[in-house]
Amino acid sequence: MNRVLAHTGAQYPILQAPMGWIARSALASAVSKAGGLGIIETSSGETENCQREIQRMLDSGLPFGVNLPIRFLKDDAMLRYVCESGIRFVTTSAGSPAKFVAPLKAAGIAVYHAVPTLEAALKCAQAGVDGLVVECSEGGGFKNPEEVSTLVLLQAIREHTDLPLIAAGGIVDGRAMAAAFALGAEGVQMGTRFVACAESPVHAHYKQAIVQASTTDTYMLNTQSSPCIRALKSPYTKSLHEAGLMGPEAFKGIQDVYFGGDMNAAPALAGQSAGLIHEVKTAREIIEETVAQFHAISARLGQLASTSSFG
């Protein structure tokens, strides 16, 4: 039995990443209705809005998850809310999950922590998490400046733990899902792909910028400081790249990017996978195509095994 399915209640082990402001019930319910797992963000810090979004998902009866970005939570209100609300699956991120694991598990919630390195994965395993989201360097958004690719990091973590692993970074379809499963993952998480999804609430300019980007159209920014991020190339991010540093004020205009469509108001977060996204699709198209392609590729590899050949 696939443990990610057991922990989440989803039909397919395909998660939608918890992008701040974006990962709310409109997107998450579309993903969950299509058989994947929608996740509601709380990194926006908008506690009441996020709780309302969580309640909508609870009311829908669909499987879903909530992300708790530990360092960004101003108090324990969201943790308490999540523990008391009947939620089944939580991903934690941005900090040590040590203090969150006990209350979440006591509430019957499966806890996966997002890790960018083997060292972080080993600490989380010790802290008693139920699984790991392996966040690799090709992905978008907040990154560890010590870059390790999906191919390498999945293997390194798989060697050291039996926990279920969800691969994140560079994945938009069934090709990369099959590759991730070959490397020992039991699930995948897609961020950029679902930002450029029909049900995503972001402005058409942001979706089009992802669709038009090539695989070399992102920057890793602020690698010498924090937060280090991967974002689309733009005149604005070019200036940050050349400056080498980025202050917290860089994000002030993030909602103007997301919902106003001003692609120079702040860094528009995206992964290298933007270069693999060529059209806006519905969540259902993305998920059904991913599953079909995953099984077609797996069957092709199975043929190689049964003939001990290479193609």
Which residues would be at the binding site for a copy of itself (CB under 8 A)? 1-5, 12-13, 117-119, 136-138, 146-153, 155-156, 158-159, 169-171, 175-176, 178-184, 186-187, 214-216, 220, 272-273, 275-276, 295-299, 301-306, 308-311
Q: Measured from the CB atom, is 133 or 265 closer to a copy of itself? A: 133
| Minimum gap (Å) between residue 157 Cβ and a copy of itself | 9
Q: Measured from the CB atom, is 67 or 150 closer to a copy of itself? A: 150
Q: Are 154 and 180 in contact (CB under 8 A)?
A: yes
| Minimum gap (Å) between residue 186 Cβ and a copy of itself | 6
| Minimum gap (Å) between residue 221 Cβ and a copy of itself | 13
Q: How far apart are CA 310 and CA 165, in angstroms?
A: 27
| Distance linking the first and last C-alpha atoms of the chain | 29
Q: For the purposes of burial, counting CB atoms within 10 Å of the CB of 230, is it exposed (0-12), middle (13-18) or buried (19 or more)?
A: buried
| Minimum gap (Å) between residue 195 Cβ and a copy of itself | 16
Q: Measured from the CB atom, is 50 or 188 closer to a copy of itself? A: 188
Q: Measured from the CB atom, is 214 or 226 closer to a copy of itself? A: 214
Q: Are 8 and 14 in contact (CB under 8 A)?
A: no
Q: Measured from the CB atom, is 252 or 278 closer to a copy of itself? A: 278
The neighbour count for residue 207, using CB atoms within 10 Å, is: 19
Buried b (16+ CB within 10 A) or exposed e, 269-283: bbbbbbbbbeebbeb
Q: Measured from the CB atom, is 94 or 156 closer to a copy of itself? A: 156
Q: How far apart are CA 17 and CA 100, in angstroms?
A: 20
| Minimum gap (Å) between residue 73 Cβ and a copy of itself | 27
Residue 220 has, within 13 A of its CA and on its CB side, a CA count of 15
Joined tokens for residue 136: 């690799």
Q: What is the DSSP letter of 107?
A: T
| Minimum gap (Å) between residue 18 Cβ and a copy of itself | 21
